[in-house]
Amino acid sequence: MSIRRIRRGGLTVLGLTLAAVAALTVSGSAFGGAAQSCGTVTINEQSWAGSTANTYVAKYVLEKRLSCKVKLTQVTEGAPYFQAMRDGKVDVALEDWDNTLGAAGQRYIKDKSVRVIGSNGITGVIGWYIPRYLLKQYPAFKTWRGLKGKESVFKSPESGSQGMFLGGDPSYVQKDRALIKELGLDLKHVVAGAEPAQVARWSQLYKQKKPVLFYWYDPQYLNAQYDLVRVQLPKRFKGCLDDEKQSGKHACEYPSYGLDKLVSGKFATSGSPALKFVKKFKWTSTDQNFVANLIAGKKMKPEKAAEQWVKANAKKVNAWLK
Amino acid sequence: MASIAEPVLTATPVVVHRPWWRGKLVQVAGIVALMYVASRMWALEYPWPSSLVWTELPFHLDDFQIWLLDERGKTDQGIVFTVFEAFSNSIDRFVEWFTRFLLWMTWLGTTIAGVALVLRFGGVRAALLTLFAFATFALTGLWEESMQTLALMLVAVALSLIVGIPLGVLAGRSNRFNRAITPVLDAMQIVPAFAYLMPVVILFSIGPAAAVVSTMIYAIPPAIRITALGIRGVPVNTVEAAMSLGSTRGQLLTKVQLPLARRLILLGVNQCILFALSMVVIAGLIGGGGLGAVVTSGLYSNPALALLAGLVIVVMAMTLDRVTEAMADRTDPAKRHLNESGRRRLRLFTLATGAAAVVGIGIAKILGVAATYPDEAGDRVVTLEEWLLTKIQVVLDYIGDPFSFAFSVTQPTGTFIYQHLLQPLQEFLVEGPWFTTVVGLTAIAFVVSGLRPALTTLVMLGLIGCTGVWALSMDTLSQVLVATVIAAAIGISLGVLAAESDVFSKAMRPVNDLLQTLPQLVYIIPFIYLIQVSVVPGIIAGALYAFPVTLRLVERGVRDVPPNSVEAAHAFGASRLQTLVKVKLPLAGDAVMLGVNQAIIMVLAVVVIGGLVGSGGLGYEVAQGLVRGQFGQGVIASFAILTLGIALDRVTQGTRQRRKDVLA
């Protein structure tokens, strides 16, 4: 290997450089004495703020308490990060919204290249949301039945005479087109695009105190800034589908998602002390929203936000390390 | 033969009226009118018939992906995967080593070495620019991310050129090879990166290698195209002279063609850099890390930071572009005639540069300077990050305020564009009977470009229908057309202005570069706040990304109008405006047409970004296909974008010969 490198650079100096680089990386990771026993852990951070929150808290604890070296990647969720786990490029993902249940996910679960190692303690909720101020004028909007006949309240330039339903990020689980159709609502499903774009749309309307109905979820740090209400959809029944592409009945509310921690097969068998920690890591959506709000709402650096939470919650953190 | 005909062509055409051009416009308008009548008569009655759709196609594609995954997962991989793996491992390791090396030199050392290097080969101005760039990396607090991106991009550009320039030379020398490779290059530029991310990930895994490969796919085409143009641009009589003196083909290439094509090849290098840098964010999605990752995660949690990282990408792109240009200029053998003492001086200069770099790094290491520029020194904050972020946030807050003055202007404008431009067009294309659309577009292609392009258009439209995405494609088409009209309007008017005024031309250059390298997802965010009609921001994104190309081509075209034609017009007492409208513009007509044609291609290249900000249509399908693991859906939608692109290209290309002349 060293021969190839030297040839590449054309200079023996590079050999020296490499030695120095190696020395530097070792000294850089030496927070404590136990550096060798943990090694490097790669955590994948997903795009939304909640994921940034749990990833940085885990990173902080792993680095400061277990002297691990933590690398973060930002691979897109779903098939891309499963593949990364199979290739050993990602060890841990701390918030998976049931991607493992899809056909693509099942393949990786089956060959054990990706393993689910329990919930991160949070239950994810997906649904139709409206601002709370709307309930004053239209108390019936609490349930989907109340929307019926009043759809035009949500009218926009794009929806013509129909009401506008703002769809979610293309990468998120959704079945709203089918829901609208099967519930017989006179709504037009308008795609708002990726989450930042969708937030731009509804928050702009919220600020003007105008009506808006949209796909949304919890835990989400913005829920601390905006007072939103979930519209009650029909209860779940047997055989109710959540995949729009499948034919059948979809007219029930979204399931609640136990958010899972995933590890790669390689990491699961590595015996790293970090694995024990990842298995035990668990918190609440209040915790997560608190940290996410520090980062995304108050624009604090993720490292600082994680530090603040960890210092204030020593008991919880210690439980992860037992 | 062409060489004999050409001088005659350029000598005669002056201010003759061009009835063909008008005739075409009239004919096209007629066809559109007929299509319109048909679509009103049978609105919604004839959607693409489901009997003409190959419904199993997505499943076959899904199966293909699964097969690929299985093959990849096997312990005894075939030779193909072994090769891919070896390639991706070595690239991964090299990029990682390079990044570590840049960091090892410490921020001070890297800056000194970089500036010294540029000073030697690019001159003082380029060196100052480099210093500014490094200062930007440091003061924004994004040093480490910048170094990651810099390493990644340098490797990607170097590899793109290693592949692109030889292929370009080949395409320049062989007509057959050129014809064969052109559609491949079109595909590489039009097929959205989102579509090949998953196959790239399967083949090269996640990490720098995958990022480098995705970047290369987009950055190679301009390198090949412009190199080929350069080789073709070498005057035929020069080549003949060299041949008659007994040059071999090898000698011809190295002694005549390459040196004479040098200027254009270097332009190709510049374009390659700009195209590569526009992929930084996409690269971030598959493990490229660096600034791209800051942009994507910032968009969700801290838009100001995303914008800041986007601006750093722009600074990096512009610096690399200007520095390579300066280096090319200064090392141009045609411009410097060195004598012995000059050479000796240069050699000393080179030595001094090397020494300065080494000493700089050495001192930095001895002083124990950190690898990355620190956020704080002692207790004092030494970056401008906080300050910049608050400033950007102020702007974003203003934009996000629905009671601002800006909003009261933009919102009605957006609604107007939607209700009076887009919606009617959408209805016309989506609801009109499929056969009149197919026949109509084919007829337009025939009138504007000729028989073969018309046949291609027909086939492409058929393919779109048969893969089951007709309605989505027509939706996208309507958006692409509106975006192109806006891009062409801006591009042509500014292009003419730039051709008439050197000052304006200079002023537009950074603007153009900014629009082409600032990640679209970043500059589109303000528009989403300002215009609450989700389709419109996507259209604006497309138009803003596309118009610089039109501007450049139109400017070139108008500037290249033969001076004797202009003088003749002046002699007849034409005013500046008259000269422009009656002489320059008609003579640059083909360049204008090419500008429109290229605008369409560029708009299509960002259709997926439109999908991400709410344009729906094909872009949304592609984006969703990637993440939700619906491989088949993603591929079909991308393929439709490509076929749509080819069809539109054929409709607007004009006759091939004219196009070639303009390019040459």
Residue A250 lies in a domain: no
Name the B residues in 380-439 with CB < 8 Å from any A CB.
Answer: 389, 393, 400-403, 415, 418-419
Residues of B in contact with A79 (CB under 8 A): 198, 201, 626-627, 629, 631
Q: Which two tokens stand for residue A137?
A: 């004028």
| Per-domain boundaries in chain B | 85-333+344-395, 407-663
Q: Residues of B97-120 as b/e, b for ≥16 C-beta within 10 angstroms?
A: bbbbbbbbbbbbbbbbbbbbbbbb
From the CB of residue B213, how many other CB atoms can be counted at a distance below 10 Å? 23
Q: How far apart are CA A43 and CA A58, in angstroms?
A: 9
Q: Do residues A29 and A61 make contact, with C-beta atoms less than 8 angstroms apart?
A: no
Count Cβ–Cβ pairs < 8 Å, chain A vs chain B.
186
pLDDT for res B19: 57
Q: How far apart are CA B205 and CA B211, in angstroms?
A: 10
Domain boundary, last residue among A231, A249, A273: A231
Q: Which CATH number fits domain B85-333+344-395: 1.10.645.10, 3.30.420.40, 1.10.3720.10, 3.40.640.10?
A: 1.10.3720.10
Q: How far apart are CA A258 and CA A121, in angstroms?
A: 8
- Beta-bridge partner residues of A166: A190, A214
Q: How far apart are CA B299 and CA B257, in angstroms?
A: 47
pLDDT score of B513 more than 90 = no
Name the B residues in 231-290 with CB < 8 Å from any A CB.
Answer: 284-287, 289
Is some CB atom of chain B closer than 8 A to the CB atom of A11?
no
- Beta-bridge partner residues of A44: A73, A93
Q: How far apart are CA B483 and CA B465, in angstroms?
A: 23
A114 and A7 share one domain: yes
Domain boundary, last residue among A191, A216, A231: A231
A33 and A116 share one domain: yes
Q: Which residue has the higher pLDDT, B616 or B388?
A: B388
Q: Which domain holds residue A204?
A: 124-231
A25 and A106 share one domain: yes
Identical fold between B85-333+344-395 and B407-663: yes
For residue range A115-169, list pLDDT tens digits in order: 999 999 999 999 999 999 999 999 999 999 999 999 999 998 888 889 999 998 8
A115 and A191 share one domain: no
Domain boundary, last residue among A177, A197, A231: A231
Is some CB atom of chain B closer than 8 A to the CB atom of A5?
yes
Residues of B in contact with A103 (CB under 8 A): 629
pTM to 2 decimals?
0.83
CB contact set of B11 (below 8 Å; sequence gap of 6+):
none
Q: How many residues does chain B have?
A: 664
Q: Which two tokens stand for residue A314?
A: 């020593």
Residues of B in contact with A162 (CB under 8 A): none
A268 and A206 share one domain: no
A100 and A9 share one domain: yes
Is some CB atom of chain B closer than 8 A to the CB atom of A95?
no
Residue A101 lies in a domain: yes
Beta strand A163-166 with A40-44 is: unpaired
B532–A80: do the CB atoms touch at under 8 Å?
Answer: no
Q: Which CATH number fits domain B407-663: 3.30.750.24, 3.40.50.10490, 1.10.3720.10, 3.20.20.220?
A: 1.10.3720.10
What DSSP line would sit under A89-126, residue for residue?
S--EEEEE-SGGGSHHHHHHHHTTSEEEEEEEEEEEEE
Angle at B514 between CA B511 and CA B518, to 5 degrees: 155
A308 and A293 share one domain: yes
Q: Which two tokens stand for residue A5?
A: 């490198």
What CATH number does the domain containing A88 carry? 3.40.190.10
Terminal CA-CA length for chain A: 41
**Of B294, B285, B282, B275, nearest in space to B147 by CA:** B294
Q: Which two tokens stand for residue A30?
A: 């030496």
Is some CB atom of chain B closer than 8 A to the CB atom of A303?
no
Is some CB atom of chain A closer than 8 A to the CB atom of B341?
no
A134 and A277 share one domain: no
Is some CB atom of chain A closer than 8 A to the CB atom of B519?
no
A204 and A136 share one domain: yes
Per-residue pLDDT of chain A (322 residues; tens, 9 = 90+): 333 333 333 333 333 333 444 443 443 343 334 444 788 999 999 888 899 999 999 999 999 999 999 999 888 888 888 888 988 889 999 999 888 887 778 888 998 999 999 999 999 999 999 999 999 999 999 999 999 999 999 998 888 889 999 998 887 778 999 999 999 999 999 888 888 888 988 998 999 999 999 999 988 888 888 999 999 999 999 989 887 877 889 999 999 888 999 999 999 998 889 999 999 999 998 899 999 999 988 888 899 999 999 999 999 999 999 8
Domain count, chain A: 2
The pLDDT confidence band at residue B14, using thresholds 50, 70 and 90, is very low
Residue A238 lies in a domain: no
A128 and A90 share one domain: no
Can you tell me the mean pLDDT for B502-520?
Answer: 87
A23 and A46 share one domain: yes
Q: Which of B69, B198, B299 sits opposite A80 (nearest CB)?
A: B198
Residues of B in contact with A221 (CB under 8 A): 301
Name the B residues in 346-385 with CB < 8 Å from any A CB.
Answer: 371
**Residue B537: closest CA among chain A residues belongs to which residue?**
A197
Terminal CA-CA length for chain B: 16
Is some CB atom of chain B closer than 8 A to the CB atom of A296?
yes
* Segment (H or E) for A165: strand A163-166
Residue A249 lies in a domain: no
- Residue B131, min C-alpha distance to chain A (Å): 24
CB contact set of B36 (below 8 Å; sequence gap of 6+):
B428
Residue A284 lies in a domain: yes
Peptide bond into A219 cis (omega under 30): yes
A139 and A214 share one domain: yes
**Residue A104: closest CA among chain B residues belongs to which residue?**
B629
What CATH number does the domain containing A196 carry? 3.40.190.100
